[in-house]
Structure 1
Amino acid sequence: MARRRKLYEGKAKIMYEGPEPGTIIQYFKDDATAFNNQKQGVITGKGVLNNRISEYLMTKLTEIGVPNHFIRRVNMREQLVHEVEILPVKLVVRNVAAGSLAKRFGLEEGTQLPRSIIEYYYKSDELNDPMISEEHITCFGWAATQDLDDMVTLSLRVNDFLVGLFLGVGLRLIDFKLEFGRWYNEHDEVQIVLADEISPDNCRLWDVATNEKMDKDRFRRDLGGVKEAYQEVARRLGVLPEAGPMDLKGPKAVQ
């Protein structure tokens, strides 16, 4: 088993030092969390499925000119990605009222919004990822005005593309979370790029015909069939692993 230096471990992924300078190995875990880590569980095979789904979606976004950190998939659980400076701001794009938006404004879940809404959240587990405004972001230096403009522009492009892509396989994109980072290319030029992952872990996806939830809400709300829902998303996208979402242990880490 290869030994790599662990750089960071989050709720759903582990980051290892990559084989070349400026690269990172992103390992997808089976761990599932909700409500700021208050609810925890393990969904066997989830990491394999999310790796394949995110690879597919990031590749499609690259094809339409959306810059992102993805380089290639290494194996069933790992991706090679560019090392980026992650910005401490999450963007949530909402197309349909669900989750916290429905609760905050007393909307019936499933209500189509007049237009897509972008919300900002500060990345902080200790503070429970509070919602923030553009004023907070620029005042505290979490991102420059131009950075924020780039993030919003990219988010809207990603949303437009993914809405159509998922609709083509019978899924309704309700909302999703995006993270961005600064990438310093070989010419030392700085570019804002999409990072993290795009999968049923951070997208709400409903079946068009039945409104059945096909995402992590099945775990959050104890609906059962979480792995089966993720498998169905992968199947519809045409990326279900041939061998099934079997376990593949990660490399041993050296500190």
Structure 2
Amino acid sequence: MARGKKIYEGKAKTLYEGPEPGTLIQYFKDDATAFNAEKKAVVDGKGVLNNRLSEFFMEGLNSIGVPNHFIKRLNMREQLIRQCEIVPLEVIVRNFAAGSMSKRLGIEEGTRLPRPIIEFSYKDDDLGDPLVPEEYIIAFGWASQQDMDDIVALALRVNDFMAGVMYGVGIKLIDFKIEIGRVWEGDFMRLIVADEISPDSCRLWDIESGQKLDKDVFRRDLGNLTDAYTEVARRLGVLPTNGPAAANSVIN
């Protein structure tokens, strides 16, 4: 399927016009970034793995009635998605303390939280995606109160699905972040899960060993990132044909 004009390029993905109105082609790059892009690298095969894993999770969410932007995978690096207006928030769901939460609150990493905690950060790379309270979000018009109620409900449903799937393959879902988009169906607007769901946007620890299988491997120099993502894909049964090396055969 031919790509249209490039309309956006982020740190890990590029968006192109799709073949039909209201569609986009999302291309997964091999670029890895951390600390607001202060640390950068190219990791062979990462885009292939994230494409396949995001397809797996989005299809799973579709099967349980959680609306999202995924339409179909086109090839090893691209998928067809619904175009939507992105709410300018990252929605973070935490099941265990880790990362910035542990630093902010002095809670040991891996401590189970009393219940899933949802945080919001304002999407602005220049500001470092600062955490914002719900009151700010509503006051500045980024989302309405009804939107926020719907976003929380969506996030918790994604959490239930993801945590169950990961537990079934021996992986603990520490936390994850998602983005939410608005789509219009006639005169009605609804909210859907957008962007991607992959080890780039989750913290995943092996239940038995505590081994990290997510982007913290890159952030903290804990080993080979492709190997970590490949292990997640292997356990879920979604490895691409010929493994991550198939990335080399994909037209960039």
Interval containing the TM-score (normalised by the shorter chain): over 0.9
Question: Which residue number corresponds to residue 209 of structure 1?
Answer: 208
Q: Report deviation, 1:235.
A: 0.6
Q: What CA distance in whole angstroms lies between the structure 2 residues aligned with 1:243 and 1:62? A: 27
Superposed CA deviations along residues 158-192 of structure 1, whole A, max 9, x for unmatched, are 1011111100000000000010010113x242110
Specify the code of the residue in structure 2 equivalent to 1:207. D
**Maintained 8 Å contact 2:70/2:80:** yes
Q: What CA distance in whole angstroms lies between the structure 2 residues aligned with 1:112 and 1:249? A: 43
* Higher RCO (CA-CA < 8 Å; seq separation 6+): 1
Superposed CA deviations along residues 131-182 of structure 1, whole A, max 9, x for unmatched, are 0001110111111111111110000011011111100000000000010010
Question: Which residue number corresponds to residue 97 of structure 1?
Answer: 97
Specify the code of the residue in structure 1 equivalent to 2:170. G
Q: What CA distance in whole angstroms lies between the structure 2 residues aligned with 1:43 and 1:136? A: 37
Matches within 5 A, 1:140-151: 140-151=140-151
Superposed CA deviations along residues 187-242 of structure 1, whole A, max 9, x for unmatched, are 24211000000000000000011000000000000111210000000011100001
Question: Which residue number corresponds to residue 129 of structure 1?
Answer: 129
Question: Which residue number corresponds to residue 38 of structure 2?
Answer: 38
Question: Which residue number corresponds to residue 15 of structure 2?
Answer: 15
Matches within 5 A, 1:225-244: 225-244=224-243
Specify the code of the residue in structure 2 equivalent to 1:193. I
CA distance 1:131–1:74, change in 2 (3 Å): same
Question: Which residue number corresponds to residue 139 of structure 2?
Answer: 139
Q: What CA distance in whole angstroms lies between the structure 1 residues aligned with 2:187 and 2:56? A: 28
Q: What CA distance in whole angstroms lies between the structure 2 residues aligned with 1:179 and 1:18? A: 20
Bigger fraction of residues in helix: 2
Question: Which residue number corresponds to residue 251 of structure 2?
Answer: 249
Q: What CA distance in whole angstroms lies between the structure 2 residues aligned with 1:198 and 1:20? A: 24
Return the TM-score normalized by structure 2.
0.97
Q: Report deviation, 1:55.
A: 0.2
Secondary structure of 1:126 counterpart: helix
Aligned residues: 249
Secondary structure of 2:137 counterpart: helix
Q: Report deviation, 1:91.
A: 0.7
Return the TM-score normalized by structure 1.
0.96
Question: Which residue number corresponds to residue 66 of structure 2?
Answer: 66
Question: Which residue number corresponds to residue 152 of structure 1?
Answer: 152
Question: Which residue number corresponds to residue 113 of structure 2?
Answer: 113
Moved over 4 A (4+): none
Specify the code of the residue in structure 2 equivalent to 1:249. I
